[in-house]
Structure 1
């Protein structure tokens, strides 16, 4: 029998030892997206549930086998009476296909323990893979009926002062949801409900509580196997459609134009649409919450570096695949790492890059004078602005006629850096007010007032 997840010392040691084992087998692993299957082998899965789980799992692995170009890296964990790895990370799909052969469904539904063990595979910092402009952390695929009726939760009795074993479904769901949320903050979770009456509410909460996760019906498991392919397609067309306000017709037209393929499946288009909608789940956001982002991502730290609002493009030392979709972007802040800046590309993807302060034309990125061109959006990062009809901030902008650059857009508020170095946020539609308006970057009078980039070479501020 497996230890309770509340035996913290045991599970910390178990995670540590399994992480060591995983690293020992790196030579047998694929180089593509890492996927951790967590499979329910508890007694509640006997019969229909297990058969549906096996069919879903095998159909995904078989599709991976048919498309070796994506080189998926797969690990498998079971939970139930035993919580253990059935297969460490590997791209040996023929071996993986048979991991459920001979498995017997028995024991309680140890969902918490199964998710806890998955941390050993998900927490490894090497589990990153690029698909076009998208950075993929290890994905978790959870296949279960979501049964919590026989989950045992230990609770400290306030009066008795000892651990009492209880079986409370609602409390179990709360524990499961909290753990899944912590995992899903960095790793997308895809849940596949199986069995006669799966707890779709719990499984949906687990999936949609994660960044980039979703609920997948077991009959659509084969479609999920195409997710990486559709992500590749999404990356190909991302620079060809508006970053917002796009439609399914826009997606279809761009895919046909790019791939010269007219027999596109509706499900594939839906996947592409969804991936683009959730694109920020796949950029290199190193901060886990909005407060940390506020404190770090948009800060201006070093006067040697291009300030927020500076327009940039990939440089001669570029080695980041298509993170930029081969287009321009805008510096939005200075990263905590010395000589690195944070860039938001015009597609909306955000990543940090090194800026060579000694050889400014030879780094990962170089400064460009390419303006931000809007499509259907009203404003965007990189746009030039000046004071608008509702301006009430005195000479914060340096005076009438001065131009600033937007380095952040948040709902109906924009953040602007002015030529004089001042930075602040302004209304752009908030309560119907417009403190600033967008400038035409091709207007000659605007060009002469554009913010110039001034560096204090060798001086760190």
Structure 2
């Protein structure tokens, strides 16, 4: 697998970088990924060189920071062009060796960057951590990193799968390392690049790239400001006052102030411990997953079902499916009242299929909160993700909310995407009117689809039950009439999990049980005998009156149902 190849190569490069530590400075580490593929165009290739040179010159203007630079190229060849160093003129010289053209295996480049991240080291400024960061200069159009080819990049190779591979790697690296993206080329995918830099980084426009080199300087100012000022928030005026007292003689440009405000907003990212930075997120990403296509989708609204026995855990209200359990036939549900638990939805208990919750069309009604799990949303004013939601006008259901202003939505096309809802003051989605025709139709469609899938799953379950029955010698294949007098499936399901079997001759007098208020005492042998299965798996013939009634209804209409009373319990056969 190519992923392992690039990880192994990253380990080799990490060792080489350590061996060259003598040429490194004492400041933070920066890994540049330069996309030299065909898709950026010749003008984009020239633009990359100019941008990179400008950034390196700015680093050289701040020797007190003593920052290290590593360079990875991604194009015809994907490799380390230069290991960590603070020899800036030498680093600029590596641009002469760049080659234009080829595919754009950005995933491989990010995997390769692990070698530089491992050999780099973090710095502490007050409570803030300055960790190695990645600066990507690209058009944001990755190709499949598994393809080794001399082909030139084209839209044919720019697949959704290639983007998904890159997102998975970036998601892991971005937990601890800020990622900055600089869009270049004739047609950059800015929305995708912005998605890559959501965590601790951001999009940097080509005209402001010198700010990349002032990142450590501005982070230090933010750290001191946060440590010395007892503030819930900061403004440009706050920064001006602080700069005059703590950095006399230093001029903070408007761009510097914007950087400080941005870093302060994301201070939780810079102050967290990397060892436990996103344990909760990793657990949630694993647990809140769709594992079984026959279970209700994430985001489906549910209420207590026919087999509910959990007292008032639901507070007698509806809830939302937030994931599929690792245990087959179980759902993770968050109730509108706030509680969470797992419940059976088709899981068997003592040979009975249990439905402790069932789907419903009740919308989520908000009380003293701006958004909640179960809300139906659509595109908001700051939407920048193209048609990842399925297209304009598509609806989705919120299934997870984070305190930093990020919400997780399952869209009607099946995509699970996290969006800003207050993060950095942006709103990618907004809440729909819960009683609008669109929301009612959306919820009803979810219910209809789920019920259809449930019926399909039930039929498969019956088929497995019949196979298991045949293997035990009860009602072998020779005793089943598939075309005459038999049902399409000779194994019939009761709502409470009992099963019936037709077309078997019985000589067992154990069928003398109470039924319809009377007791049958004679041995009964029928050519079309219906049977029922108890909770212990034992098959027992119906008494004569009940059997005759079932056959009469069946002969009249094979698709009809009949309700019978057995042991003082109503049961429906169909």
Rate the CA distance shift 1:202–1:178 in 2: closer, same or farther, 3 A. Answer: same
Q: Going by fraction, where is helix more abundant, 1 or 2?
A: 2
Residue in structure 1 matching 2:230, options 231, 242, 253: 242
Q: 1:178 to 1:247 in 2, by over 3 A?
A: same
User: How far apart are the structure 2 equivalents of 1:129 and 1:260?
Assistant: 24
Match of 1:287 in 2: 276
For the residues of structure 2 that align with 1:103 and 1:45, how far apart are their CA atoms? Answer: 14
Q: 1:168 to 1:49 in 2, by over 3 A?
A: closer
SS in 2 for 1:196: coil
1:197: Cα distance to partner? 1.4
Is 1:193 aligned with 2:183? Answer: yes
- The alignment status of 1:18 with 2:13, answered yes or no, reads yes
Number of corresponding residues: 276
- How far 1:239 moved relative to its partner? 3.0
Residue pair 2:179, 2:201 contacting (<8 A) in 1 also: yes
Please provide the CA RMSD for this pair.
2.4
Partner of 1:138: 132
- SS of the aligned residue for 1:101 comes to helix
| Kept after mapping to 2: 8 A contact 1:241/1:250 | no
| SS at structure 2 position matched to 1:107 | coil
Structure 2 Cα separation of the partners of residues 292 and 198 of structure 1: 30
Q: Given the alignment of the two structures, is residue 267 of structure 1 paired with residue 255 of structure 2, yes or no?
A: yes
In the other structure, the counterpart of 1:72 is 67
> What do residues 350-390 of structure 1 show as CA deviations (whole Å, max 9, x unaligned)?
xxxxxxxxxxxxxxxxxxxxxxxxxxxxxxxxxxxxxxxxx
Change (3 A) 1:26 1:284: farther
Are the counterparts in 1 of residues 2 and 145 from structure 2 also a CA contact under 8 Å?
A: no
Change in 2 beyond 3 A, CA 1:245/1:16: closer
Change beyond 3 A, Cα 1:293–1:76: closer
Displacement of 1:94 after TM fit? 0.7
Q: Would you say the 8 A contact 2:139–2:184 is kept in 1?
A: yes
Q: For the Cα contact (< 8 Å) 2:7–2:111, is it kept in 1?
A: no
- Tell me whether 183-192 or 224-233 shows the greater mean CA deviation: 224-233
Which residue does 1:206 correspond to in 2?
196
Alignment TM-score, normalising by the size of structure 1:
0.56
Structure 1 residue 7, shift from structure 2 partner? 1.6
Cα separation, 2, equivalents of 1:292 and 1:178: 14
Q: Shift in Å at residue 153 of structure 1?
A: 5.5
Alpha-carbon distance in structure 2 between the residues aligned to 1:107 and 1:251: 46
Picking from 205, 219, 222, the partner of 2:207 is 219
Say if 1:277 and 1:242 are closer, same or farther in 2 by CA, change over 3 A: farther
What does residue range 6-45 of structure 1 map to in structure 2 within 5 Å?
Answer: 6-45=1-40
Match of 2:122 in 1: 128
Partner of 1:98 in structure 2?
Answer: 93
Q: For the residues of structure 2 that align with 1:168 and 1:224, how far apart are their CA atoms?
A: 28
- Residue 176 in structure 1 maps to residue 187 in structure 2: no
Distance 1:21 1:204 in 2: 32
Select the structure with the greater relative contact order (CA < 8 A; seq sep ≥ 6): 1
Task: Name the SS for the 1:98 alignment partner.
Answer: helix
Aligned to 1:111: 106
Question: Equivalents in 1 of 2:272, 2:88: separation in Å?
Answer: 29
Match of 2:83 among 67, 88, 95: 88
Structure 1 pair 86–176 and aligned structure 2 pair: CA distance change class (3 A): same
Distance in 1, matches of 2:203 and 2:247, equals 28
- Give the C-alpha shift of residue 44 in structure 1: 1.8
**Selected match of 2:49 from 42, 50, 54:** 54
Determine helix, strand or coil for the equivalent of 1:242: coil
- C-alpha distance in 1 between matches for 2:103 and 2:8: 22
Q: Output the CA distance in 2 between the equivalents of 1:45 and 1:292.
A: 34
Q: Given that residues 64 and 225 in structure 1 are in contact (C-alpha distance below 8 angstroms), is that contact kept between their aligned partners in structure 2? A: yes
User: Which TM-score applies when normalising by structure 2?
Assistant: 0.45
Shift of 1:61: 0.7
Distance 1:69 1:237 in 2: 20
- Taking a change above 3 Å as real, the CA distance of residues 46 and 104 of structure 1, as seen in their structure-2 partners, is farther
| Contiguous gaps of at least 5 residues in structure 2 | 148-155, 284-402, 405-574
Q: Distance in 2 between matches of 1:118 and 1:10?
A: 13
| Cα distance in 2 between the residues matched to 1:292 and 1:213 | 18
Shift of the 274–16 alpha-carbon distance from structure 1 to 2, 3 Å rule, reads same
Q: Within 2, Cα distance between the matches of 1:10 and 1:245? A: 46
**What is the DSSP-based 3-state SS (H/G/I as helix, E as strand, rest coil) of the residue aligned with 2:129?**
strand
Cα gap change, 1:190/1:96 in structure 2, threshold over 3 Å: closer, same or farther? same
Q: Which residue of 2 aligns with 1:459?
A: none
Corresponding position of 2:554: none
SS at structure 2 position matched to 1:257: helix
Return the alpha-carbon distance in structure 2 between the equivalents of residues 264 and 23 of structure 1. 36
Asked if structure 1 preserves the Cα contact closer than 8 Å seen for 2:55 and 2:209, the reply is: yes
Cα shift at 1:241? 2.8
3-state SS of the aligned residue for 1:123? helix
1:324 match: none
Stretches of structure 1 lacking an aligned partner (at least 5 in a row): 1-5, 155-165, 295-409, 412-461
